Amino acid sequence: MVFAKKKFGQNFLQDSNVIQNIISFLPVKNSDVVVEIGPGRGALTKLLLEKLDKLTVIEIDNDLFAQLKYLPHAQKLIGINEDVLQVDFSQFGEKQYIIGNLPYNISTPLLFHLLSYRHLIQDMIFMLQSEVVNKIIAPANSPNYGRLSVMFQCYCQVERLLEVPPECFNPVPKVMSAVISLQPKKITPAVDFFALEKITAMAFAMRRKTLFNNFKGILAQQDWEHIGIASTMRAQELVIEDFIKIAKYVIKLE
């Protein structure tokens, strides 16, 4: 048996009821394009292989990757032994379904990496730290509202699907987990994705400071008057449309 490696943030899901529930959240046909991130010991992989014609898996751990060939129906597997943050998801074509128990230590950069391929993705079903899920679904003016909330609510329909306690994993993590659906929207605001990402990151860089202070050197007081947002506000008080306004205005200045 391959043991969990701390450097990869591995916690292997082992509760059969939770595994069945997660699979049920991904309503795919046998011919659909499905990519699993971090298959680990194959808890989800086994069930996916039973219902799909083929399955692409991305696993960075050499030892775990070597074991995948022993799974039932392994001939259906397309294995990628790489760091998922370096994988170009455009190679998998359109209408992708992505699933996985995401490594906690890279969950945020990985989510943003995938969001840049949103036009190719039908749905994403992920196990994440409950804390991260709370941030993604948080409404404006709440303690958890931040960069993740704005970016993912702007580009995806987000839904918490299931709470998963620590004892469902081996080794047992010190945190609660949750399953979330991130379904890319067909119609999104006409604003540059990377500009919005940059603006959102700047706005929340120092949460306790005002917009005026966080954008000092980029936007002057008269700019805020043109945008129509009070410079004395803090980022958590803004709704998604406000961030879009700021991003569009900054693009015009460049």
Share the mean pLDDT of the chain.
92
Note whether 140 and 235 are within 8 A (CB).
Answer: no
| Residue 218 covered by a domain | yes
User: Does residue 138 share a domain with residue 205?
Assistant: no
pLDDT band at 53 (very low <50, low <70, confident <90, very high): very high
User: Does residue 118 share a domain with residue 45?
Assistant: yes
pLDDT at 254 over 80: no
Q: Which domain holds residue 219?
A: 193-253
3-state secondary structure of 118: helix
CB environment 167-183: b (16+ within 10 A), e (fewer) = ebbeeebeeebbbbbbb
User: Does residue 210 share a domain with residue 87?
Assistant: no
> What's the pTM value of the predicted model, to 2 decimals?
0.90
The per-residue pLDDT for 155 is 97
Note whether 31 and 184 are within 8 A (CB).
Answer: no
CATH of the domain at 133: 3.40.50.150
User: Does residue 148 share a domain with residue 220?
Assistant: no
Distance CA 79, CA 113 (A): 20
Residue where a domain terminates, one of 131, 152, 184: 184
pLDDT at 154 over 50: yes
| Residue 78 covered by a domain | yes
User: Does residue 145 share a domain with residue 40?
Assistant: yes
User: Does residue 211 share a domain with residue 145?
Assistant: no
Going by their DSSP bridges, the two strands 33-37 and 96-101 should be labelled as parallel
pLDDT digits (tens, 9 = 90+) for 177-192: 999 999 999 999 999 9
